Amino acid sequence: MKTVDLFQFNASTNIPATLQRTTMDIVEVCNSVFRPFFRNVANRVQEEALNSGCTHIVEMGAGNAPITRRLLESSEGSLTFTVCDLMPDEELYARLEKEHPKRVQGLTQAVDFTIPRQWPPQTLLVLVACFHHVPVAERAAAFETLTNSADRVMLFSPVKKTLFCMFAAVGILVPGLLVPLIYIHRPARLRRMFWCWLLPIAPLIMLWDGVGGCVRQWTTAEWKAVEQNQNLPRSILVESTPNSQTVIC
């Protein structure tokens, strides 16, 4: 199956911030209420940090920082965190910094993970559900840049390029429509009701991005080709389940 650069709303800086935040809420419900994907990712990151000797985690393309939030709750003070995104959620970052002084820093300027940037030693970069946004033609070079910028890089995807995942992605409409109810006790409930019920654009965007996200993924064989053709500092390990993929370098 060919990898196609289908347009993704979540990589667009042109949608309103309130709509963007609502799509992040839907992603969160899918990957925490409907399946324990974020919990599993957080556990895997913690394990890899321990094994690789990394003490600082940078969550890039963080959205509402699902992995940092979970690790802040579950890990000891030995791990510190930076959260950043092309469209930073400044309000959330400020809250995390206030609740966990000295352990977390939110970068309020846009950080594009395709642009070279040198991170301090013992840094582990974590990208969840976002690397597939990089256009196919630029992706291998972007991965080389990332892996040369830190001691360890982990890419997590909650979907794969398979027909099974594409069909399953249609199911995102269910959490998309339920999110205002599921998060009824959380702040910004009117925002969610507006974008999911009154003008239900958020579930439709997630439907498009969900199916498109599958089409944009790379298979294990395609990742192995990257390993052969690019100048990477370490070898690539690809871990796979029927509906998720982890790439570690």
Out of 72, 92, 128, 238, name the contact with ligand SAM by CB under 6 A.
128
| 177 makes contact with ligand SAM (CB under 6 A) | no
Min dist CB 205 to ligand SAM, Å, is 10
Contact between 112 and ligand SAM per CB under 6 A: yes
The C-alpha atoms of residue 136 and residue 129 are separated, in whole angstroms, by 15
CB nearer to ligand SAM: pick between 85 and 151: 85
Q: How far is the CB of 190 from ligand SAM (least distance, A)?
A: 22
Q: Which of 157, 125, 144 is nearest to 54 (CA)?
A: 125
Cα dihedral sign, 16-18-20-23 = negative
∠ Cα 191 15 131 (to 5°)? 110
- Contact, 77 vs 63, CB < 8 A? no
**162 sits near ligand SAM (criterion: CB under 6 A):** no
CA distance 163 to 170: 11
x-or-dash string of contact with ligand SAM, 7-36, rule CB under 6 A: ---xx------------x--x---------
Nearer of residues 13 and 51 to ligand SAM, judged by Cβ: 13
Q: Mask 47-86, x = binds ligand SAM (CB under 6 A)? A: -------------xxxx--x------------------xx
Cα separation, 120 vs 126, whole angstroms: 15
Q: If phi over 0 gives left and psi between -120 and 50 gives alpha, with beta otherwise, what is residue 247?
A: beta
Shortest distance, CB of residue 11 to ligand SAM, whole angstroms? 4
133 near ligand SAM (CB under 6 A): yes
104 lies in the binding site for ligand SAM (CB under 6 A) = no
- Contact predicate 146/172, CB 8 Å: no
CB 217 within 8 A of CB 134: no
Q: Which residues bind ligand SAM (CB under 6 A)?
A: 10-11, 24, 27, 60-63, 66, 85-87, 111-114, 128-130, 133
